[in-house]
Amino acid sequence: MPTQSALEALQHLRDPHTFQWYVIPLFAFVVYVYAVEVERKNWNVLFAGLAFWGMDWFNEIWNSLVFHFTNFAPVWGAPGKSAFELLIGLNIEISFMFAIAGIAFAKMLPKDKKMKILGLPNRWFFAIVNSIFCVFVEVLLNAVGALTWDYSWWNASVPFLIFIFGYMTFFVVSYWVHDMEKVSRKIKTTGIIYAVDIVAILIFGVILGWL
């Protein structure tokens, strides 16, 4: 039996009647952010941002599958008001936020890959600190009911899984792509991430209707 929060999220899932016009300027802003990096030929930041966004989509897909197979609840849900709910735990506002966040977090990286901060390689330092920050934001969102958690092993009292699988993997992959020497390798790696996402959406969403 689905939880109340899961049922609330399902009521608005991909409902076109919830559309709001503010989605258009948000989309334009995302395009502008990426256009700036293309104009500057800042491929490190550009592909780091895309990798970050692609990793979020991967997470949201398996989160939706958890709900499908349990018929209880997703690991996290987004039942609140939204201009468009893409998946049970992902609305259009969250998706655009992650698209921009990947760019912003990549810009924090020092040019010197070998520089250490508090004894840690700076990439790992920023991955850890930024993951902790993101978990803190999620706790706040959960506190106001915008983001729901229905499992005892995924909540504010047990933040380790949220830290590792909710965010740390995003940053590790994003920074890894950022530091790749060849643009062709960045393209290939990012392309694989999105290929997995697209195939999963086609199979589990379009064909099987599980998402």
Please tell me the total count of domains within the chain: 1
Closest CA to 56 of 91, 84, 16: 91
- Phi, psi at residue 14, to the nearest 5°? 50, 40
The Cα 95–Cα 5 span in angstroms is 20
Among 209, 67, 92, CA closest to 148: 67
- List Cα–Cα distances, 186 to 50, 55, 118, 189, 198, in angstroms: 10, 14, 29, 5, 18
Whether 31 has a pLDDT exceeding 90, the answer reads: yes
What pLDDT does 34 receive?
98
| pLDDT of residue 16 exceeding 90 | yes
47-96: pLDDT as tens digits: 999 999 999 999 999 999 999 999 999 999 999 889 999 999 999 999 99
pLDDT at 23 over 90: yes
Distance CA 97, CA 56 (A): 11
Q: Which pLDDT belongs to residue 80? A: 83
DSSP 57-114: HHHHHHHHHHHHHHSS--SSB--S--S-EEETTEEHHHHHHHHHHHHHHHHTS-S-TT
pLDDT at 83: 96
HSE-CB of 208 using CA atoms within 13 angstroms? 13
Query: In which residue are the tokens 């991430």 written?
Result: 193
Q: Which amino acid is at 159?
A: P
Task: Tell me the three state secondary structure of residue 194.
Answer: helix
Nearest to 210 by CA among 2, 11, 71: 71
Residue 170 has pLDDT above 90, yes or no: yes
Confidence of residue 184 (pLDDT cuts 50, 70, 90): very high
* Phi and psi angles of residue 148, each rounded to the nearest 5 degrees, phi first: -110, 145
Note down the domain range covering 160: 4-207
For 30, residues 6+ apart whose C-beta sits below 8 A from its C-beta are: 96, 99, 100
Alpha helices in the chain (DSSP H): 4-11, 23-39, 43-70, 92-107, 122-143, 160-161, 169-178, 183-200
Write the single-letter amino acid at 19. Answer: F
